[in-house]
Amino acid sequence: MSDPEADSLRSTFPSYMAEGERLYLCGEFSKAAHSFSNALHLQNGDKNCLVARSKCFLKMGELEKSLEDAEASLQGDPTFCKVTQSGFHHCHCLSRPLMRRS
């Protein structure tokens, strides 16, 4: 039995990744996240794609979704360098209330 959503996708994983990266650079974070989601339907759990979508969610202010993707990218490899180099190793701070500057 096939996945109907995956069957409806009309492109390839690299195409969705490239589209997402281009949209991210143009500041179209919501559209970029959608492209990365499409890519993940084709290659579920791809670490680079999860980090890219996490960055989109972070830019959109969707902190919980960003944290979920960042943590998912570390599954099986807690030293995955793209997450730690991107500063996402500090995501544990999201579980604490955000402090505002006066």
Local confidence pLDDT in tens for the 102 residues of the chain: 455 555 567 899 999 999 999 999 999 999 999 999 999 999 999 999 999 999 999 999 999 999 999 889 888 777 776 654 455 544 444 444 444 444
Q: What is the pLDDT of residues 51-80, one digit of tens each?
A: 999 999 999 999 999 999 988 988 877 777
Range(s) of the domain holding residue 76: 4-95
How is residue 61 written in tokens? 């202010």
CA distance 24 to 52: 9
Predicted confidence at residue 1, as pLDDT, reads 45
Residue 19 forms part of a structural domain: yes
Residue 101 forms part of a structural domain: no
> CB–CB of 75/45 below 8 Å?
yes
Residue 46 forms part of a structural domain: yes
CATH, residue 90:
1.25.40.10
Predicted confidence at residue 100, as pLDDT, reads 44
Residue 89 forms part of a structural domain: yes
Domain count for the chain, please give it.
Answer: 1
Predicted confidence at residue 83, as pLDDT, reads 53
Predicted confidence at residue 86, as pLDDT, reads 55
* Strands annotated E in 9-102: none
Predicted confidence at residue 23, as pLDDT, reads 98
Residue 102 forms part of a structural domain: no
Residue 25 forms part of a structural domain: yes
Q: Phi-psi region for residue 64, left (φ > 0), alpha (ψ -120 to 50) or beta?
A: alpha
